[in-house]
Amino acid sequence: MFENIVIFIPSFLEAEKIFNITNFSKTGFFHTSSYKNIPVVITGVGKTNSSITSALFFSQYKPKYSLLTGICGAYEESGLHIGDIVSIKKDYLVDECSFNGKTITTLHEKGFLQDNEFGADFLYAEKFKAATSNTVSFIACQKDLVYEYMKKTNALVENMEGAAFGIAANKFNVMPYHIRSVSNFSTTVENQKWDIKKAAKNLKDAVDLFLNFYAL
């Protein structure tokens, strides 16, 4: 069941909005369903849930490929638009950091995190725009801090699970892809311009294209 490729998605809400999946069942510790006969697993939202779920899953099962997907926020300076699709090649734990009120200093810069603990590498799906991403727990709705996140890693987007998931995949030698659809801008609340419906539609089309093109 889990030998070739498994799709991972953070939340039941995203699974319903993107793939129209509502019939999840419990398989061991995991909430699972399927899309086009491919297993779908809920990671849970955020770094903690994602890291626990993915590490536990990869310790029990050894799929050749994994695809993490879901919505994300784009930085205003990224040039991206709502509904754009990105294939994330590198994802960083950017808010594992200290903040002095003006700038952030990551734990990687302080020497506490090695390269493979600070970020995760993903395979690139060439049909989509390549991007670097930040994985955050603290969603900064204050412009200066958002800009600090962005410039620290030259990221175009941010999400809440990617780096944690990718680090687990890298450790267990599972080859991961990471495809996201922009649902909003990562900025002040009044300028976020959320459109989950458009992001979900475009992401479903993107995942269909990915599955058809790569035929994993």
Q: What is the CATH number of the domain that holds 9?
A: 3.40.50.1580
Task: Evaluate if residue 216 carries a pLDDT over 70.
Answer: no
- Report pLDDT digits (tens) over 40-69: 999 999 999 999 999 999 999 999 999 999
State how beta strands 30-35 and 38-42 pair: antiparallel
Number of domains forming the structure of the chain: 1
pTM: 0.96
Res 20 pLDDT > 80 = yes
Give me the domain span that covers residue 135. 5-214
Q: What is the 3-state secondary structure (H, E, C) of the chain?
A: CCCCEEEEECCHHHHHHHHCCCCCEEECCEEEEEECCEEEEECCCCHHHHHHHHHHHHHHCCCCEEEEEEEEEECHHHCCCCCCEEEEEEEECCCCEEECCCCEEECCCCCCCCHHHHEEECECCCCCEEEEEEECCCCCCCHHHHHHHHHHHCCCEEECCHHHHHHHHHHCCCEEEEEEEEEEECCCHHHCCCCHHHHHHHHHHHHHHHHHHHCC
Across 163-190, average pLDDT: 97
What is the mean predicted confidence (pLDDT) over 36-40?
95
- Tokens coding 103: 């700038």
pLDDT at 154: 97
Q: What was the pLDDT predicted at 3? A: 86
Residue 96 and residue 107: Cα distance in Å, rounded? 6
What percent of the chain is predicted at pLDDT more than 70?
A: 99
Q: Stretch 152-167: mean pLDDT, rounded?
A: 98
71-107 confidence digits (pLDDT tens): 999 999 999 999 999 999 999 999 999 999 999 999 9
Task: Give the confidence band of 166 by pLDDT, cuts at 50, 70, 90.
Answer: very high
